Amino acid sequence: MKTAMPLLLALFIFQVSAQKAPVQKQRTLWNDFTYDMGSMFGGIGHAYSRPFHWKGDDWARFGYTAAGTALLFTIDDELDDWANGIRGDVPQFVKDYGNRFGNPDNNYMLTGGIYAVGLFTKNEKLRRTGVLLMASATAGGFLQQVTKRIIGRARPRSGDPSSTYDLFHLDRVFNYDSFFSGHTMLAFTNAYAIAKQFKNPWVKAGIYTVGMVPGFVRVVDRFHWVSDVAFSAVLSIFIVESIDKYLDKKYSEKYNDQSKDVSWHLSFGPRKMGVVISF
């Protein structure tokens, strides 16, 4: 009896330890894919829900964005007249790149390709980049489609001034769907998200510049007003940052240790006023 008790106790401890041992889930492409798609839609929902969690600084940033956009609204027609002087000087290949790169079909070919490479090479950082790109583009693209049908702002090429609106249309009304710029949104979203891979400020600046070419071209070709493009670029930054913070909780691989905070302040000077964004 004395011998049996230690044996029974040892057997009981072994069974309890075995039950508590974690079961390792086999990692497969399908598991990674389903996890990433869940993270993508979770990131989209996170971005849309952020206004319900805004505090003082967040509302201040929203106010700066609204004020800056409203300021540009007042001079959009003058800026369109100014662009008349350079339209003939912009090379055709730049225009072709600007109009094609921000196209949704081309955008998802790029972002989907980046994600696919990360998935098949089992590179978590590249997978995360692809998820960030696709989630940000989807969140911004859906918002843009809804907004332009509600606001119905005239495009420059319509011949109407920038203050002309044809409100609330479920169907798209061509030349009255200017605000805000989808091409700029998609292109700068990609540029901003990809630039996160690098710490060098000159590399970042170069990527941002390439990402703003579609916005510049859309103004030159009279598809959009300057305020449409500026608002799209700023909104892209907020969407990418919001989703990237969400993905911090979903992936162990980080791009770098840089802060994800975006700061704003108004800048005044002789005969000028502007909004400075630090990121």
- Residues near 124 by beta carbon (within 8 Å), at least 6 away in sequence: 118, 251, 252, 253
Q: Which domains does the chain have, with CATH numbers?
A: 27-278 (1.20.144)
Q: What is the structure's pLDDT at 6?
A: 47
Nearest to 207 by CA among 218, 192, 197, 217: 192
Question: Rounded distance, CA 63 to CA 69, Å?
Answer: 10
Per-residue pLDDT of the chain (279 residues; tens, 9 = 90+): 444 444 444 444 444 444 444 444 567 999 999 999 999 999 999 999 999 999 888 899 899 999 999 999 999 999 999 998 898 899 999 999 999 888 888 899 999 999 999 999 999 999 999 999 999 999 999 999 999 999 999 999 999 999 999 999 888 888 999 999 999 999 999 999 999 888 899 999 999 999 999 999 999 999 999 999 999 999 999 999 999 999 999 998 776 555 555 544 444 444 444 445 555
Q: What is the DSSP string of 156-170?
A: GGGSS-TT-B----S
CB atoms within 10 A of CB 236: 26
- In which region does residue 120 sit, left (phi positive, over 0), alpha (psi from -120 to 50) or beta (all else)? alpha
Q: What is the structure's pLDDT at 23?
A: 46
Q: What is the structure's pLDDT at 233?
A: 95
Whether residue 180 has a cis bond before it, omega within 30° of 0: yes
